Amino acid sequence: MIPPETQLKDISRHFQIYGQILHAEPLKIGHINETYTATYDQGGTRVRYIHQKLNRSVFKKPAAVMHNLVRVTLHLRKKLEASRAPDLTRRTLNIIPTRDGQSFLQNGQGDVWRTFVFIEGVRTFEAVQSPVQAFQAGRAFGEFQGLLTDLSGPRLHATIPDFHHTRKRFEAFQRAVQADRCNRAASVQAEINFALRREPIADVILDAMARGHIPERITHNDTKFNNVMLDVATGEALCIVDLDTVMPGCVLYDFGDMVRTTTSPTLEDEIDLGKVRMQMPLYKALARGYLSMAGQFLNRYEKQLLAFSGKLITYELGLRFLTDYLSGDLYFRTHREGHNLDRCRTQFKLVESIERQETAMQEYVDRL
């Protein structure tokens, strides 16, 4: 048996799962946490669960992450129940508690594990395939934000403080250039200059928030297209996953990351930069989907910055990948030499493409 499976059998015993674990496989998704699919036998029926190990160097306060997750998923479920949504257990994550009633397990080594019901009959995609999919993603994240506007109780924990603080991301980038730990700066001067030239955009949303034009809301903060589970049979976006960064934030960061990941039908680490392009039909579908849900609660300042937010978040991710490349690939999991640099180049290519179309992109949402 492969080592993770032995370990997973051990982990799985601690959760309130009725049945016997048969096998488990790693699920290759995400750059941060470790995710596994495990199959159990429950009285002769095969049932699957997700076991996930939280990345402790990224999420320093696992209890806060899980506290948010429990509140958010229960709220979503309550609201979906009230609206008589069909297929309830496929529309939001369901956390399986540990045998002693906790939302996560912390073992002797300090590893943090949690378990979710596996949602059957859905698929995620690393690259968007059609305007219909982009529409679905926009609608699903708009609905997600909308359902959380009336979450009662104290403010959610900031699981990663300053996660989308672009000015601080820029400063971290400058420090990485300065330190040049791996002697890589000289070889990426073009990318460094690209980033430096665009420094002023880092403050636009921060300033608007400081002036009180843009409110804090509960946001997802990682609205990558592969965090949307689409029903295999109907293509409908059923469930939003990866809720570790759901926290108080700005809706524009969510819309921006949707633009980044659903308007170019290429992978995040596409090597053929000629293929990377913000495509208007995908963007239009995304914006229509998003505003069909979020149009009711966004204010005019938020609406005015929708197109800009796509450029900003794509720039921010380019900065983060470049920072990590310069620092020796410590944050994002990489699978090949220069992987973070490839990711950075794709982002910057997309920034340029958005720059060329930004006016038309904003005009479109103004008309919706």
Asked if 318 touches ligand GN1 (CB under 6 A), the answer is no
Beta-bridged to residue 112, according to DSSP, are 106
Asked if 254 touches ligand GN1 (CB under 6 A), the answer is no
Shortest distance, position 233 Cβ to ligand GN1, whole Å:
25
Asked if 252 touches ligand GN1 (CB under 6 A), the answer is no
Nearest C-alpha neighbor of 324 from the set 349, 344, 345: 344
Shortest distance, position 30 Cβ to ligand GN1, whole Å:
3
Asked if 245 touches ligand GN1 (CB under 6 A), the answer is yes
Asked if 30 touches ligand GN1 (CB under 6 A), the answer is yes
Asked if 339 touches ligand GN1 (CB under 6 A), the answer is no
Shortest distance, position 130 Cβ to Mg ion, whole Å:
23
Alpha-carbon distance of 338 to 269, in angstroms, equals 10
Shortest distance, position 245 Cβ to ligand GN1, whole Å:
6
Beta-bridged to residue 115, according to DSSP, are 51, 96
Asked if 310 touches ligand GN1 (CB under 6 A), the answer is no
Alpha-helical runs (H) found in the chain = 3-12, 62-82, 131-147, 166-179, 189-197, 204-210, 251-262, 280-294, 300-304, 306-327, 339-367
Give the nearer residue to Mg ion in terms of CB position, either 72 or 185.
Answer: 72
Question: If you ran DSSP here, which 8-state letter would residue 29 be given?
Answer: -
Asked if 224 touches ligand GN1 (CB under 6 A), the answer is yes
Alpha-carbon distance of 271 to 70, in angstroms, equals 39
The residue within the footprint of ligand GN1, chosen from 17, 31, 40, 265 (CB under 6 A), is 31
Contacts of 165 (CB under 8 A, 6+ apart): 206
The residue within the footprint of ligand GN1, chosen from 12, 75, 173, 242 (CB under 6 A), is 242
Measured CA to CA in angstroms, residue 166 lies from 44, 232, 329 at distances of 52, 36, 20
Give the nearer residue to Mg ion in terms of CB position, either 185 or 317.
Answer: 317
> Is 256 strand, coil or helix?
helix
Asked if 302 touches Mg ion (CB under 5 A), the answer is no
Asked if 317 touches ligand GN1 (CB under 6 A), the answer is yes
Alpha-carbon distance of 246 to 248, in angstroms, equals 7
The residue within the footprint of Mg ion, chosen from 242, 254, 302, 342 (CB under 5 A), is 242
Binding residues vs ligand GN1 (CB under 6 A): 30-32, 58, 222, 224, 242, 245, 268, 317
